[in-house]
Structure formats: structure tokens, C-alpha cells
Amino acid sequence: MVVGDPNVLGGFMPFGSSRIEKQFICPEECTSKWPWDINVFGSALHMHAYGKQIWTGVTTPSPSGGNLVITSDLDRDNFYEFTFQHISMVNRTIKRGDRINVHCVYDLTTNLFPKQRPNDTGVTFSLGSEDEMCMEFIYYYPRFPTSPQFDTCGLYENETTTCGEFDKNGTISLKIQNPVSPGSATADPVINGDIAFGTDFSNGTCVFDAAHLALVPNGTVVYQKPIATNATNTTNITNTTNTTAGTPTPSGAGNTAITSWIVAIVAAVVVAMYIQSGVFVVETCPNHNGAKTKTCLLIMQTKN
């Protein structure tokens, strides 16, 4: 299966920018048509010489339910090299109704092929090595029974989307915007922040749970969909260590406060060892209200 820009229709990118990101979507409207969930065992991320970074995010409902969803990496190459391509071994299930977004970052500071393409003013998505691509080859089982149906999913003509289906007139397209714009409903979330300790909470619960942590592979973003009727609504999930449940810590309860800090630091170390670099577990704690409270652990890292 090829996702992202399988038909090489990504358009034109002019020279002069050190960073241009394209984000192509294989939407839930496509994966929900699959006859079954798929088990992914291999991944090949593919760009050409101007490509510098590429990753694929899969968005699926959180096991905690509600309005939470989890976006996590299927595969990622933060230092892409066209002359050193490879197939990554993957052990991952993509479910019917999941969303797959392929991100490609390009450096177009200068023309890399002045002899072959001296008159070029930019780069076009096409088949030549001097051109560009943005796609991921997904190796999976069990095989869909009606190949080549669903063998491609992503960008199609006039910035629409194809699920890879055909009829008597050729490829069927969906009126779903592709590529997607950052910040739109179908785009992966952009999370910026730092590892933070001592985040306050005011209603007796912290936002962190083992159900999320048990599922996160490398590059995970756990976030909350916005709620139109209550934009400041926060996610409240009981901390499984039972160190942050209950009422705020009264002034002078030094032992409890120290215990909370120790647990927070130990948890941070354990989490860092478990999820390695590039992982984002982001939950929202209520705003500080000036009261003395117990400590929440909020883990945030910058996603580039």
C-alpha cells in the first residue's frame, strides 16, 4: 500500500526556502472502507534529494474514550538521506477508521542539480531523481482481496483525495482537501513545549494515565479535541499511582508535597527510559488558581 502522494501530484516548490513541509492525508473516510484492520510489518519512507525529514502519523481513538484521540508515528526519519534509503521493521495495527498523515520536509535553499537542471526555478513533484516525491510504502497483512483496490491512498487531482478505488471511468476521487493545512481538522496536531514538573491542579486530579502510556510508540502525541461549547475544558484522568488524587495539599503538609515531587521525578525518568526520544505524551492540567496544590506531571516536548 502506498500512502501520501502516491500519484506524484504534489505540485511545484520554488527555490529559496530552507524548510517547506507538505502534509498529505489518507482520511478515515478511506480506511473505514477497508474490509478489515491491517497488521503493518514494514515501512519505506520515500522522498528525493531535497527531502530532509519524513514521518507518518496515525490517528486513532484513545482507549480512554470520550473526545480523546491518539496520534502516533508509524515510521519516522528525522535525518532523511536520499542515498541511504531503507525499509523499517514495524509491528503495528492500523484500524478501520484511523487517519494516516504523511509529512515531508524539504530544503530548497539552492538548486542541487545546476548541471542537469540549470534553468530550474524550483522543484516539481515527478518521477525523476531531480524532482520530488512524498510517500510511504506500507507492508501489511492480511492482503486485501480485491487488489489493486485500496493499494493507494492520498492526494489526487485538483487537491482532492483518492482511496485507491476504481470504477468504469477510472480512479474515484473524494472532495477531501489534500494536502491538508496545518491547524485544520484533518491535520496532525503541532505540539510545542518543554518537559515540565510541578504543574498545578485545582480539582483533585492530574492528567496522566497508564492506558495512554502503554500504547505509545515512538513519536506519540496524545491530545484533546476542542469542544466548541467549552473551549477551556480539560481532560481529567486519575493518576494510577494515587499520588495526585484527593484534595489540594494544605499548607505545611511537607511530607506529602515531597512525596509528590519524588514520584513526579521518578515517573519522568521511567517515562523517558520507556518512550525514548521524540515521544510526546501531552495532557492538559487545569490552570493554576493560586492555591497550594499537589504536583501533576506534565510531559511535553517540541515536535519539529
Written as nine digits, the cell of 140 is 501489511
Written as nine digits, the cell of 60 is 486513532
Which of 158-172, 215-229, 263-277 tops mean pLDDT? 158-172
pLDDT at 68: 74
Instruction: Band the pLDDT of 112: cuts 50, 70, 90.
Output: very high
What is the Cα 300 distance to its own chain's centre?
14
Encode pLDDT of 130-167 as tens digits: 999 999 999 999 999 877 789 999 999 999 999 998 88
What are the phi and psi torsion angles at 48 (to 5°)? -115, -155
What are the phi and psi torsion angles at 213 (to 5°)? -60, -35
Written as nine digits, the cell of 149 is 483496490
Residues 2 and 43: their CA atoms lie apart, in Å, by 10
Q: What letter would DSSP give residue 243?
A: S
The beta-strand segments (E) located in 180-277 are: 196-200, 221-224
pLDDT at 65: 67
Average pLDDT over residues 255-266: 44
Q: Do the Cβ atoms of 200 and 293 come closer than 8 Å?
A: yes
Query: How many CA atoms does the CB half-sphere of 182 hold within 13 Å?
Result: 8
Task: For the chain, give the number of residues.
Answer: 304
Return the bridge partners of 70, or none: 60, 222
Domain boundaries, the chain: 2-174, 196-298
pTM metric for this prediction? 0.66
Q: Do the Cβ atoms of 49 and 80 come closer than 8 Å?
A: no
CATH placement of domain 2-174: 2.60.120.230
Residues 124 and 257: their CA atoms lie apart, in Å, by 58
Residues 222 and 259: their CA atoms lie apart, in Å, by 27
Residues 96 and 208: their CA atoms lie apart, in Å, by 27
Residue corresponding to grid cell 518512550: 275
Pairing mode, strands 152-156 and 68-77? unpaired
Average pLDDT over residues 113-125: 96
Encode pLDDT of 14-58 as tens digits: 999 999 999 999 999 999 999 999 999 999 999 999 999 999 999
How far CA 242 is from CA of 89, 131, 248, 265, 288, in Å, comes to 37, 55, 13, 15, 21
Residues 252 and 293: their CA atoms lie apart, in Å, by 11
Query: How many CA atoms does the CB half-sphere of 7 hold within 13 Å?
Result: 20
Residues 25 and 56: their CA atoms lie apart, in Å, by 10
Written as nine digits, the cell of 155 is 492526494
Average pLDDT over residues 288-298: 39
Q: Which of 93-102, 162-171, 262-271 is predicted with the least confidence, judged by mean pLDDT?
A: 262-271
Give the residue with greater pLDDT, 68 vs 185. 185
Give the residue with greater pLDDT, 247 vs 51. 51
Residues 84 and 265: their CA atoms lie apart, in Å, by 39
Residues 195 and 198: their CA atoms lie apart, in Å, by 10
Residues 155 and 171: their CA atoms lie apart, in Å, by 12
Looking at the predicted structure, is the pLDDT value of residue 59 above 70?
Answer: yes
Looking at the predicted structure, is the pLDDT value of residue 224 above 50?
Answer: no
Q: Sign of the C-alpha dihedral, residues 110, 75, 275, 182?
A: positive
